[in-house]
Amino acid sequence: MNTQQLFDNYIIPSVGRLPLSFVEGKGSWLTEESGEKYLDMYPGWGVNIVGHCHPEVVDAIQKQAAKLLHAPNNYLLPLQGQLAEKIIQHSFKGKIFFSNSGAEANEGAMKIARKWGKTKGKWKFISMIDSFHGRTLGALAATGQENYRKDFEPLIPGFSYAPFGDISAIKEMIDDETCAIMIEPIQGEGGINMAPQIYFQELRKICDEKNCLLIFDEVQTGVVRTGEWFGYQLYNVQPDIMTLAKALGGGVPIGAIVAAENVADVLQPGNHASTYGGNPLVCAAGLAVISVLEKEDGIEKARAAERVLKQKAGELKQQFSVIKEIRGAGTMLGIELDIPGQSIVQDCFKDNVLINCTHNCVIRFLTSVFISEKEIEIAFKSLQKALSKI
Ligand SMILES: Cc1ncc(COP(=O)(O)O)c(C=O)c1O
């Protein structure tokens, strides 16, 4: 059986898939079973911030695999402690819990908020319209997109959804029972939506006044993606809890809840755990990703990539009136069209360029920080060709 047949017969069809079966990756390139090479403009949906199979990440994983693959969380795991220290050094004072994915990190963050609020009569959440927080039942409840939620309702009670960027809506919705406001610093799946710094500052102020927690879901924006170590640093607004995943492991399954000092000790032994969370293998990978980003000045690389991406996108906007707006920071770029973008994705794919379209009409790039100007040019040439057909 070929790979397509194996999938048809044995894989639950819960995900829409392109008929490509990749077997190798290097930098911003993937190689198909047929040997055909593809330029990947959203490697791993945001996972491969340092590109596919970065040699230092591979080396760290190989060495760790030969030493100790897994030991459970009822022991002290040195690499877990070291990775937590690194993340704290680049973010804010607090403590970390490691999970295996972004959705799980968000579940844990919501558990912290619920337990923190329990003695105060606070249990409700406000999240944002067009947000995306993951596919588990709690994370879906937080996700402000009806199409992801509707088939699985009733979900966890206590969630309401505010328009992203609208501070007066928050003021109307928040009450004494609200335990947390949950938000992405830049909405990813929702279409690379941004809000001004003042909005995030106001959110912080409201949370402080109303004694409620501010949770930033940085699963997509975290770990240098936006040209800062973490997206909250774009606005100089510190959350009480930040969740991470994707880029943190550079390709291995890891998530993290970063809880500031005021909430770091809410969870006590027996409250929360994960068999695999933060095991030696994934923490070795996480440490290698951070070390590469530190040594190679990942922040400057992300900002340099942003300049080229935005310049090329700006040139396209001059040529094609279907382009409404260009948004994003670092290597997270959205090009909003006033038409559906799926046919453009298909056309680029025929050119061996992999791009993503989110929220129906937003072309999204989540490139490696090591993407070269030449590679960006290849992608934009293909995009230009696809747009010319419209
Ligand atoms: C902002 C955000 N939160 C949470 C998730 C869910 O992460 P995971 O797929 O690792 O569960 C995603 C995934 O795209 C995301 O973009």
Reduce the DSSP state of residue 366 to 3 states and report it: strand
* C-alpha of residue 128 to centroid of ligand 1, in Å: 15
Residue 342's pLDDT is what?
95
Place of tokens 């690194």: 86
Q: What is the mean pLDDT of residues 226-238?
A: 98
Residue 153's pLDDT is what?
96
* C-alpha of residue 318 to centroid of ligand 1, in Å: 33
Residue 299's pLDDT is what?
98
Which of 48, 40, 2 is CA-nearest to residue 21?
2
Which helix H or strand E contains 373, and what residues bound it? helix 373-388
Ligand 1 lined by 245 (C-beta under 6 Å): yes
Q: Which atom of ligand 1 is nearest to the CA of 245?
A: 10
Q: What is the mean pLDDT of residues 176-202?
A: 98
Nearest protein CA to atom 13 of ligand 1, as residue:
134
Residue 143's pLDDT is what?
98
Q: Check whether 252 has a pLDDT greater than 90.
A: yes
d(CA 32, CA 20): 7
137-185 pLDDT tens trace: 999 999 999 999 999 999 999 999 999 999 999 999 999 999 999 999 9
42-81 pLDDT tens trace: 999 999 999 999 999 999 999 999 999 999 999 999 999 9
In this structure, the number of other CB atoms found within 10 A of the CB of residue 95 comes to 15
Ligand 1 lined by 183 (C-beta under 6 Å): no
Ligand 1 lined by 132 (C-beta under 6 Å): yes
d(CA 370, CA 27): 7
- CB burial of 280-290 (b: ≥16 within 10 Å; e: otherwise) equals bbbbbbbbbbb
Residue 348's pLDDT is what?
97
How is 318-350 classified by DSSP, letter by letter?
HH-TTEEEEEEETTEEEEEESS--HHHHHHHHH
How is 9-62 classified by DSSP, letter by letter?
HHS---S---S--EEEEEBTEEEETTS-EEEESSGGGGT-TT-BT-HHHHHHHH
Task: Read off φ and ψ for residue 7, nearest 5 degrees.
Answer: -65, -45
Pocket test for ligand 1, best of 243, 246, 248, 356 (most atoms within 8 A of CB): 246
Ligand 1 lined by 228 (C-beta under 6 Å): no
d(CA 350, CA 119): 57
* C-alpha of residue 67 to centroid of ligand 1, in Å: 30
d(CA 282, CA 59): 13
Q: What is the mean pLDDT of residues 110-134?
A: 98
Residue 390's pLDDT is what?
87
Cβ atoms 291, 122 nearer than 8 A: no
Nearest protein CA to atom 7 of ligand 1, as residue:
102
312-343 pLDDT tens trace: 999 999 999 999 999 999 999 999 999 999 99
Q: Which atom of ligand 1 is nearest to the CA of 184?
A: 1
* C-alpha of residue 102 to centroid of ligand 1, in Å: 5
Q: Which two tokens stand for residue 379?
A: 């992608």
Q: What is the mean pLDDT of residues 5-23?
A: 96
Crossing angle of helices 373-388 and 342-350, in 10° steps, is 120
Compute the mean pLDDT over every residue in the chain, rounded to the nearest whole number: 98
In this structure, the number of other CB atoms found within 10 A of the CB of residue 3 comes to 15
Banded model confidence at residue 367, pLDDT cuts 50, 70, 90: very high
Residue 278's pLDDT is what?
98
Question: Is 0.95 topped by the overall pTM?
Answer: yes
18-39 pLDDT tens trace: 999 999 999 999 999 999 999 9
Nearest protein CA to atom 4 of ligand 1, as residue:
133
Ligand 1 lined by 188 (C-beta under 6 Å): yes
Report the percent of the chain where pLDDT is more than 70. Answer: 100
Which helix H or strand E contains 375, and what residues bound it? helix 373-388
Ligand 1 lined by 189 (C-beta under 6 Å): yes
How is 126-187 classified by DSSP, letter by letter?
EEEBT----SSHHHHHH-B-HHHHGGG-S--S-EEEE-TT-HHHHHHH--TTEEEEEE-SSB
Q: What is the mean pLDDT of residues 252-277?
A: 98
